[in-house]
Amino acid sequence: MARRGSGLGVFCCIALFGWSCGGVPPGTDEPPSETQSESWLQETLEKGAMEDARVRASTPPGSSVELRRFQASPRFIEHDHHGNRVLLSLLTGTADFGGGPVSVPGGGSGIALVGYKSNGAVTWSRAFATHGAAVIGPSIDKRRNLALVVEKSFRPDIDFGGGPISAARFVVGLDRSGGFRWVRTIPGQGFFQAYQIVASRSGDITIAGVYNGVVDFGQGPLASAPDTAFVAQFSADGTPRWSHVFPDVKGSEATGLAVDDDGTVYLGGTITTAFSGDGSYYGDFFVMRFTPEGTWVWNRRVQGPLGNVKSLAMHGNRVAVTGFFREPFSFAGQTVSRSDARGGAFVLSYSTSGAESWGLGFAGRGRAIDLSSKGDVVVVGEYVTGDDIAGVPLPPAPPNGDGTSNFAASFKSSNGHLRWARGFPSTGSWITEVDIDKHGLSRVTGYFWGATDFGDGPVTPIPPVTGFVLGLAR
């Protein structure tokens, strides 16, 4: 999912107890008396904090500490300032995400949005009939309002609570419990695919992706013949602010997006240089920076990897991207390569000023990445038997599967040194997202249709697929 900048994962909750609840009456200097309930509450909080610290201290880094399963296909997970989380999942019919059954209106295909407290309790859930439309998000701002970007082409109208929306592509704003707020249509013709959506602290909403044809983000129609990367920003109420497309590049897409605390935008993606026989495309990597007002600051291009950027994240003074590469390439004065000819996953780290910091190549393909406030980079993706990460071998995939399993790995953001690496052998699974909360715990989402080992032995799915949220200790 789209990643936010430093400071967004830390928030304080302050409870004010008035003098009528055992505090100090106005105009006195007498210290407050402690009621029995307040004493019990404080003791409970202290014991809970001590127990959490003890558990964290005794848990090996990267260990599986949480596994949630449900009959749906999770796509994105994002947390707010408090550590509360919102999960977006594809859903057909009904599923229970932990707070009771949630059903798509009419019983067909759609999405579910589920809100969780930081302790994992479900606070709300909503389902919408989206009929197979591409729905990306949510973004979450400091008021905990949500936004989604939708492309539905010729599919039926979608009702997010404000009435049927007939537009082929649009951004929809929701409140903190998924209630409708506003919709901003994106007129145009031709191909359009959004990959990321993220909100700044001020509530501005930025989207990124690729289009081919004509698109209007609010500043007038923009035409492009080849596939062209775009980035566009809207205010908290959906009013267009600024946009950029890259028509001088003969084939590009923006698949990575992050926004810093002050609204600075970082964009990552691929510039096409080659096609394969199956229609797949590969090329060079790019990372760009824009001011909060949309002014271009710098652009960095990595030449020669013949791969794809899949995800970008940033925190503090670090920006990192992951994806897949086929050919060795140069980065930060070193050659990034694999030990075999298959290519593999990569992580590239930049400073926010655009300087190359470090780069690594390793197992399989990188699918998603996140950076934490504690100085960690976590990347997730797929691997095959025989792959390793920085010399750490991954467990072999079961022989009766498709040969592909999933991995998670953590690196120090300062120098790229490996902290831990985990493999999850499976006869059939897919990984979609990783999100690191304010405590440093990584939550990985995906779904599996074959037996998968998340750390305590193989788990058998309920057909056709079972979704999961997996928590990994820092």
Tens of pLDDT, residue by residue over 195-207, are 999 999 889 999 9
Residue pLDDT, tens place only, 106-141: 989 999 999 999 888 999 999 999 999 999 999 999
Which residue did the predictor score with more confidence, 81 or 217?
217
What is the total count of domains within the chain?
Answer: 2
Alpha-carbon dihedral of residues 325, 326, 329, 334, nearest 10 degrees? 70
369 and 312 Cβ atoms separated by less than 8 Å: yes
Report the distance separating Cα 471 and Cα 68, nearest Å: 9
Task: Say whether pLDDT at 332 is over 70.
Answer: yes
pTM beyond 0.75: yes
Q: What is the pLDDT of residue 236?
A: 96
Question: Is residue 340 domain-shared with residue 244, that is, in the same domain?
Answer: no
Q: Which residues contact 339 (CB under 8 A, 6 or more apart)?
A: none
Q: Per-residue confidence at 19, pLDDT binned at 50, 70, 90?
A: very low
For the four alpha carbons of 384, 387, 389 and 392, in that order, the dihedral sign comes to positive
CA 428 from chain center: how many Å? Answer: 22
328-349 mean pLDDT: 89
311-328 mean pLDDT: 96
Question: Is residue 207 domain-shared with residue 108, that is, in the same domain?
Answer: yes
37 in any annotated domain: no
Where in 276-426 does DSSP place strands (E)? 281-290, 296-315, 318-325, 329-331, 334-336, 344-351, 356-362, 365-371, 376-384, 388-389, 392-393, 404-412, 418-424
Q: What is the pLDDT of residue 341?
A: 65
79 in any annotated domain: yes
Q: Which residues of 404-423 are buried (b: 16+ CB within 10 A; e: fewer)?
A: bbbbbbbbebeebeebbbbb
Q: What percent of the chain has pLDDT over 70?
A: 87
Question: Is residue 251 domain-shared with residue 157, that is, in the same domain?
Answer: yes
Residue pLDDT, tens place only, 53-65: 444 557 899 999 9
Q: What is the pLDDT of residue 402?
A: 83
Q: What is the pLDDT of residue 176?
A: 95
371-375 mean pLDDT: 93
33 in any annotated domain: no
314 in any annotated domain: no
The domain of 132 spans: 1-24+74-263
Question: Is residue 247 domain-shared with residue 362, that is, in the same domain?
Answer: no
For the four alpha carbons of 108, 113, 119 and 122, in that order, the dihedral sign comes to negative
Q: What is the pLDDT of residue 133?
A: 96
Question: Is residue 236 domain-shared with residue 323, that is, in the same domain?
Answer: no
Residue pLDDT, tens place only, 218-269: 999 998 878 999 999 999 999 999 999 987 677 999 999 999 989 999 999 9
Domain ends where: 263, 280, 303? 263
Report the distance separating Cα 463 and Cα 474, nearest Å: 32
Task: Say whether pLDDT at 380 is over 90.
Answer: yes
Q: What is the pLDDT of residue 224?
A: 85
Q: Which residues contact 258 (CB under 8 A, 6 or more apart)?
A: 2, 3, 4, 5, 198, 265, 266, 312, 313, 314, 319
* C-beta neighbour count of 352 within 10 angstroms: 19
- Within 208-334, where are the H helices? none
Task: Say whether pLDDT at 281 is over 90.
Answer: no
Kindly report the average pLDDT of the chain as a whole number. Answer: 88
390 and 418 Cβ atoms separated by less than 8 Å: yes
DSSP 345-362: EEEEEEETTS-EEEEEEE
What are phi and psi for residue 252, nearest 5 degrees? -160, 160
Domain ends where: 246, 263, 280? 263
Residue pLDDT, tens place only, 33-89: 334 443 444 444 444 444 444 445 578 999 999 999 999 999 999 998 888 999 999
Q: What is the pLDDT of residue 325?
A: 96
Q: Per-residue confidence at 5, pLDDT binned at 50, 70, 90?
A: low
Q: What is the pLDDT of residue 335?
A: 96
Q: Per-residue confidence at 308, pLDDT binned at 50, 70, 90?
A: very high
96-101 mean pLDDT: 96
284 in any annotated domain: no
Q: What is the pLDDT of residue 339?
A: 64
413 in any annotated domain: yes
Question: Is residue 249 domain-shared with residue 330, that is, in the same domain?
Answer: no
Q: Which of 5-9, 25-29, 138-142 has the lowest mean pLDDT?
A: 25-29
Question: Is residue 341 domain-shared with residue 222, that is, in the same domain?
Answer: no
DSSP 358-369: EEEEESSEEEEE
Strands of the 442-448 sheet, one edge to the other: 64-70, 466-472, 442-448, 429-436
61 in any annotated domain: no
Question: Is residue 111 domain-shared with residue 255, that is, in the same domain?
Answer: yes
Question: Is residue 131 domain-shared with residue 239, that is, in the same domain?
Answer: yes
Question: Is residue 344 domain-shared with residue 257, that is, in the same domain?
Answer: no
Q: What is the pLDDT of residue 17?
A: 27
Domain ends where: 263, 286, 301? 263
174 in any annotated domain: yes
Q: What is the pLDDT of residue 119?
A: 87
Question: Is residue 330 domain-shared with residue 254, that is, in the same domain?
Answer: no
Question: Is residue 348 domain-shared with residue 215, that is, in the same domain?
Answer: no
Q: Per-residue confidence at 181, pLDDT binned at 50, 70, 90?
A: very high
